[in-house]
Amino acid sequence: MRQTNERLGRTLLRVATIVLGTLMTAAATPVGVAHAIDFCACGGSPNSLGDFDLGDLTKRAGAAFNGGDACSPVFVLQVPDDGTLVFDSFLVRSVSDTGCGTRGAILAFRRNAANTPVTILVKSDFTVAGGSFVDVSGAGGVAGTAGAAGVGGQGGPGGFVGGDGAYQLVTFSSQGGAGVGPGGGVGAVASPFAAAAGGTFVGVPELRPLLGGSGGGGGHSSSGSETCSAGGGGGGGGALLIAANGTITVNGEIHANGGGGGNTRNTGCSSEASGGSGGAIRLVASTIQGSGFVKADGGGVPGNGGSAAGSSGGAGRIRLEGITNTLRVDGTSPVAIRAPAPGPLVNPITPTVKITAIDGQASPVNPTGHRGQVDLVLPAPGIVQVDLRATDVPTGTALEVTLKPKVGAPPLSQRVTLTPASCNAGTCNTAVSFDLAAGAYIVEARATFETP
């Protein structure tokens, strides 16, 4: 069985603008000027779901109760196909109908089929009240047991799954699987021992394009003993963009953390997995304020230490863009990048890279490789061609294709350069080939280039 993963819009863009001119100054009486700017590009949107108020049953705009501790209720919003939710106002606050009195709530999101990041556009104010949370974090990896190896934790919306753990009695291999995503951590190796690597976040400071964190690597299994099952890697944190025409107030918390690595069954012959990387949080508003916390930390490890130890995931990225920004510096982890004014919400160009077919079989519209699932089953091992299509990617750009075995071997990578002969009207078609052994794989592709 083989898996494929589609990488859409994973092009890293850097834009530099230089304005030259002569500046003449003279003393004058200061005058304050304010503009009503449509930062969210949603002021006239007819698609608004109205006012969202998690504390008001009649204004939850589709947020469904998802259980959790009755005294710490979790509500879930479905991410639409295009990833964008529009509201008149947005308030996450304590709820009083839990049977435990008034309690802080957690708002999470159910990913869509394409695993896009979450975009929330608000015509006025966005508020997370004290004691409440907005969460797009990745899930922790599953611990190894006597019955099965640990599997990788799912990424948050826009993030990627962790690598599976090895268990020789089941997987017939000793090396753990690599985390999915452009910065997925490699799995642990049995001999000579090397710990699984944590996921790393891949993205530019502008967070355009916006993507989530990568999964951590799975643990190893050095023996065929029944107890030698390793943990699965943590999922990468998701990606969240909040743009409001009014004020973004964070007195509670917003999280896009990576999931922790799963524990091993036996530290003597198998190892912990590693954490997924933090994801991405971008806040855009006229004013950003509050006494709360915004976090995109990497996932941790169980902490057994010694030769069983895994690695923590790397930090994600937080970006705050506001004319007025008083959100406390020590309230963001990692420390946020700050911009003095809101920038464009999206790139002026939208390049894509798509895996169109593998061994002649067309890829599904929405592949599930980012979840660690099987999309295509090939008839036999051997030489397999991976067909690629790039749109609005300049010629001369190298596409990198990475093939990640589920367990048992390190990732393989190949690069192919787009040539004028392979392109027509902004669309380029090319291919690479891999010699595959029997097994299951994740296939990823991406392009990296700079704009003028």
Binning pLDDT at 50, 70 and 90, where does residue 3 land?
very low
pLDDT of 101 higher than 70: no
What's the pLDDT score for residue 449? 85
Structure tokens given for 64: 């469904």
Alpha-carbon span 135 to 222, nearest angstrom = 37
Alpha-carbon span 350 to 115, nearest angstrom = 17
pLDDT tens per residue across span 274-303: 999 999 999 999 999 999 999 999 999 998
Alpha-carbon span 246 to 36, nearest angstrom = 9
* Longest CA–CA separation in the chain, Å: 82
pLDDT tens per residue across span 215-232: 999 999 999 999 999 999
What's the pLDDT score for residue 68? 63
Tell me, letter by letter, the H, E, C secondary structure of the chain: CECCCCCCCCCCCCCCCCCCCCCCCCCCCCCCCCCCCCCCCCCCCCCCCCEEECCCHHHCCCCEECCCCCCCCEEEEECCCCCEEEECEEEECCECCCCCCCECCEEEEECCCCCCCEEEEECCCEEECCCCEEECCCCCCCCCCCCCCCCCCCCCCCCCCCCCCCEHHHHCCCCCCCCCCCCCCCCCECCCCECCCCCCCCCCCCCCCCCCCCCCCCCCECCCCCCCECCCCCCCCCEEEEEEEEEEEECCEEECCCCCCCCCCCCCCECCCCCCCCCEEEEEEEEEECCCEEECCCCCCCCCCHHHCCCCCCCCEEEEEEEEECCCHHHEECCCEEECCCCCCCCCCCCEEEEEEECCEECCCCCCHHHCCCCECCCCCEEEEEEEEEECCCCCCEEEEEEEECCCCCCEEEEEECCHHHEECCEEEEEEEEEECCCCEEEEEEECCCCC
pLDDT tens per residue across span 318-350: 999 999 999 999 999 999 999 999 999 988 778
Share of the chain above pLDDT 90, in %: 78
C-alpha distances in angstroms, 411 versus 230, 374, 376, 407, 436? 19, 17, 19, 10, 12
What's the pLDDT score for residue 240? 98
pLDDT of 308 higher than 80: yes
pLDDT of 157 higher than 60: yes
Share of the chain above pLDDT 70, in %: 89
Q: Are 59 and 95 in contact (CB under 8 A)?
A: no
Domain-wise residue ranges, the chain: 36-349, 352-447
What's the pLDDT score for residue 22? 33
What's the pLDDT score for residue 21? 33
The mean of the pLDDT values for the chain is 89
Alpha-carbon span 30 to 184, nearest angstrom = 52
Alpha-carbon span 31 to 424, nearest angstrom = 54
What's the pLDDT score for residue 72? 72
Lowest mean pLDDT among 7-21, 274-288, 347-361: 7-21
pLDDT of 107 higher than 80: yes
φ and ψ of 107, to 5 deg: -105, 120
Give the mean model confidence (pLDDT) for residues 56-61: 88
Q: Fill in the amino acid letter for 287.
A: T
pLDDT of 155 higher than 80: yes
What's the pLDDT score for residue 98? 53
Q: Are 137 and 259 in contact (CB under 8 A)?
A: yes
Give the mean model confidence (pLDDT) for residues 391-417: 95
Higher per-residue pLDDT: 62 or 27: 62
What's the pLDDT score for residue 388? 97
What's the pLDDT score for residue 37? 84
Alpha-carbon span 304 to 324, nearest angstrom = 45
Q: How many CB atoms lie within 10 A of CB 249?
A: 21
Give the mean model confidence (pLDDT) for residues 193-222: 96
Alpha-carbon span 83 to 242, nearest angstrom = 12
Higher per-residue pLDDT: 2 or 196: 196
Binning pLDDT at 50, 70 and 90, where does residue 28 land?
low
- Between CA 160 and CA 169, with CA 165 as vertex, the angle to 5 degrees is 145
Q: What is the dihedral of CA 193, 194, 195, 201, to 10 degrees?
A: -170
Give the mean model confidence (pLDDT) for residues 74-84: 95
Q: Fill in the amino acid letter for 218.
A: G
Give the mean model confidence (pLDDT) for residues 191-215: 95
Binning pLDDT at 50, 70 and 90, where does residue 23 land?
very low
pLDDT of 17 higher than 50: no
pLDDT of 105 higher than 90: no
What's the pLDDT score for residue 73? 82
Lowest mean pLDDT among 143-147, 234-238, 287-291, 307-311: 307-311
Q: Which of 218, 198, 193, 195 is nearest to 406 (CA)?
A: 218
